[in-house]
Structure 1
Amino acid sequence: MKCIGEKKIEKMLINVSSAFSTSFSSLNAVAAAKKSNTFTLQCGATSNGDVIWTFNDQKLDQKAGSNLVLSEVGQPMVGNYTCQSGGESVSTYLLLQDEDEKEFDDFLTCRAKSYSCTFSCKWNDTNYKLVRLGLGPDCLEGNNLCSWVMGDGRLHFELTHPVSPYSEEHDMLVLTAQAITNYTFLQKSKRFYLRDIMKPDHPQIGNCQKENGKLNLLIDPPCTWSTPHSFFPLEHEVQYVRRNDGKIMTVPPCSSPCHLNLSTRTSKLNLTVRSRDSLAKSNWSQWADWKIVTCG
């Protein structure tokens, strides 16, 4: 996992299968228009007959023809549009207002606990009624080959990725999110390497041993970390409370066992540890709970 690349954030306006319902599966084509802009809906009629447009099942007075031009798009214009030709419905759209620009990370945070085949994401904006995530170019382009993942009731997602844990990562993952709220549609995508979102669970504090005039602290990887541990090494950072003044001291990153530059007369230590991937220099884990260990 040594391949380095810049993160790229993209935003697209597309037509997707969607509508106001409890799922994405039974929707009209969504058209996302920017507020106050002009937007055109196209009817798929192939005949030369008259085209009739309706808005929320009400016939529009204007004779727009195959192209319905909407000026100064705003909330009153949001809803269902249908064009008819020859007495038959030809095209149906759900017009939504395109969400204002925000950073991808304002909406979504993702994390991998290890180099297994999955990672998790959490949607942070509870204003959205429907949210789904997808990996790969098919989802980015919004085509039917995308395997969308729906979140649970708390908008948590578990996604499966194709990255091999035993080879260098050459291609970025492409994650696409689609979300709908009352009158707005959002699609954002982000490119990243798996190591960019790697954050192990906190490690386990082991025994403190006195050996050759040094204090050695054993630290065990979290049970969720990838194995074998020799192939997926972690480095650790240790903090302990200095007994004479209560000051918190930090030991530079080390591999287990960590050598503590303390007198071997020390019998007990109040300490905590955190870990990260030592090769990819991933995000640090959370600190483990403070623990008093006996050095013997």
Structure 2
Amino acid sequence: MFPSCLNAEAFEGNEELNSQHPSSSDGFSDFGTRTLFPPHLRAKFQLQLQPEAPQATMSHLLCALLSLLSFAALLESAQWKLQENVFVIDSRWDAEAPATMVELSCDSPEEAVLWRKDSSPFQEGKQRGKTLRVAVKELPDGGNYSCVSQESLRVLSSSLLLIARIGPDGTILRDILKSFQEPKTFLKCEAKNYSGVFTCSWMTENNPHVKFTIRSLEGPQGDVSCSTPVAVTEGALTTYTAQCHKENFCPFAEEHQPIDILLEAIDEVLYENYTASFFIRDIIKPDPPQCQHVATNGTVTWTYPRTWSTPNSYFPLTFKVKVKSTRRHRYQVYDTEEQWVQLPPGPAEVWVQARDRCYLSSWSSWSSLCR
């Protein structure tokens, strides 16, 4: 029985593969293209399983490249539209660079209008007329520019100008987020299994009022959707998390196109963005194993995490067992692919952690104390 997201016809007509597939002694484990397959059959199986992989991969790469180039082109322009009535001004962050001249138009049939900035009368440049030219250089130059009726003072239209500080190398200067220590990154994404669901996290320090948007770099046309970020504050540090889901993700198939995530941060008028690109297999971090039983003879057993992908024969885990002798106060760590370990005589404390056996992704956190 093959999962619906795999092409079962790839096995037809392959006598070598069909004859060896049922035997686990030859290195097979259920179905798929994970590294449990013998290398000489793995390559052959991949080609048959994905007969159009080269073209599909090229198409995906071209699509991703165009998305990245489009995004880069936006950053290269002096000003660009973030969303309706919201614009980002790329400001060269050095004293010698000139200001960017921005032209704003009042979207109203009324002719007699006044301009305001952040609800206060605009004191610089042309105050009357339906077109306003303003020099944008420093953060105080950003804000909400609105035109109002000269007669009724009713707001007719408005534009929010955000500022992205551009460094000497042409990239955005980034100060809003605080870096994680391990791994050293601003935007960290992890998946508990191969369902296509993953969680992205980021942190701020002494800055709890920043507004964030996280989405696929491909925009609404992408196949990744993310929830609204949730914030948890402890002291000066605020950690944000968002759950994302890659649509139609097949856990049994090889990944050919990375997921590209864009995080946008707005702190009043300051704009920054952060990106992450990864395959699901590279961000896997299982939940800790569940300790099951500690026998009187010193045998400790555990089970796979409930959140881990199934079947376990296709998604095997490897384990580390940390044992602390309560008498000698020393630690020993054992590596095993079994779900049990025999402890030496004497009282001890035991913890277990797990990692995907097929890919060198992250280890889980240690389990709760088994004994």
TM-score by length of 1: 0.70
Describe the superposition over 1:81-135 as per-residue Cα deviations: whole angstroms up to 9, x where unpaired.
Answer: 3579xxxx99843122326235876543322111123112233116243112112
Superposed CA RMSD: 4.2
2:319 equivalent in structure 1: 236
1:245 and 2:328 are equivalent in the alignment: yes
Instruction: Choose which of 222, 229, 232 in structure 2 pairs with 1:151.
Output: 229
Residue 135 in structure 1 maps to residue 216 in structure 2:
yes
Given that 2:89 and 2:163 are in contact with CA atoms closer than 8 Å, whether structure 1 keeps it comes out as yes
Mapped partners of 1:244, 1:61: distance in 2: 77
- Find the aligned partners of 2:315 and 2:131 in 1 and give their Cα distance: 60
Amino acid at match of 2:174: E
Letter in 2 for 1:113: K
Match for 2:199 among 120, 126, 134? 120
Partners in 2 of 1:146 and 1:220 — Cα distance? 31
Higher helix proportion (structure 1 or 2): 2
Higher relative contact order (CA 8 A, sep 6+): 1
Q: Which of 173, 185, 188 is matched with 2:274 structurally?
A: 188
- Compute the displacement of 1:250 (Å): 1.0
Tell me which residue corresponds to 2:168. Answer: none
Alignment equivalent of 1:101, drawn from 174, 179, 195 = 174
Q: In the TM superposition, what is the alpha-carbon distance from 1:53 to its structure 2 partner?
A: 6.5
Question: Given the two structures, how large is their TM-score scaled by the length of structure 2?
Answer: 0.58
Deviation at 1:276, TM superposition (A): 0.7
Check whether the contact 2:187–2:276 (CA below 8 A) recurs between aligned residues. Answer: no
Structure 1 gaps, min length 5: 4-8, 18-26
How far does the alpha carbon of each residue in 1:157-182 deviate from its partner, in whole angstroms, 9 at most, with x for none? 11111332111111110111112112
Cα separation, partners in 2 of 1:269 and 1:69, compared to 1, 3 Å: same
Q: How does 1:34-73 map to 2 (within 5 A)?
A: 34=91, 35-36=93-94, 37=97, 38-43=99-104, 55-56=117-118, 58-59=121-122, 62=125, 68=133, 70=135, 73=137
Q: Is 1:223 matched up with 2:306?
A: yes
2:81 paired residue number: 15
CA distance in 2, matches of 1:285, 1:145: 27
Conserved 8 A contact 1:238-1:273: yes
Q: Distance in 1 between matches of 2:262 and 2:291?
A: 38
Q: Which segments of 5 or more consecutive residues in structure 2 lack a partner in the other structure? A: 1-33, 36-45, 47-67, 149-154, 166-172, 233-239
1:33 corresponds, among 90, 107, 114, to: 90
Deviations 1:188-245 (A, max 9, x none): 222111123211111012345799xxx7643311111111111111100011124663
1:275 match: 354
Measured in 1, the distance between the counterparts of 2:102 and 2:223 equals: 25
- Relative to 1, partners in 2 of residues 1:245 and 1:146: Cα closer, same or farther, differing over 3 Å? closer
Change (3 A) 1:187 1:91: farther
SS at match of 2:199: strand
Identity, in percent, stands at 23
Alpha carbons 2:283, 2:362 under 8 Å: kept: yes
Alpha-carbon spacing, 1:59–1:208, altered in 2? closer, same or farther (3 Å): closer
Aligned equivalents of 2:223, 2:285: Cα separation in 1: 30
Partner of 1:168: 254
Q: Distance in 2 between matches of 1:117 and 1:173?
A: 10
Write the letter of the residue equivalent to 1:273. Answer: V
In the aligned structure 2, how far is the partner of 1:227 from the partner of 1:148? 24
Deviations 1:15-42 (A, max 9, x none): 212xxxxxxxxx6313243345522324
Cα pair distance change 1:165/1:233, threshold 3 Å:
same
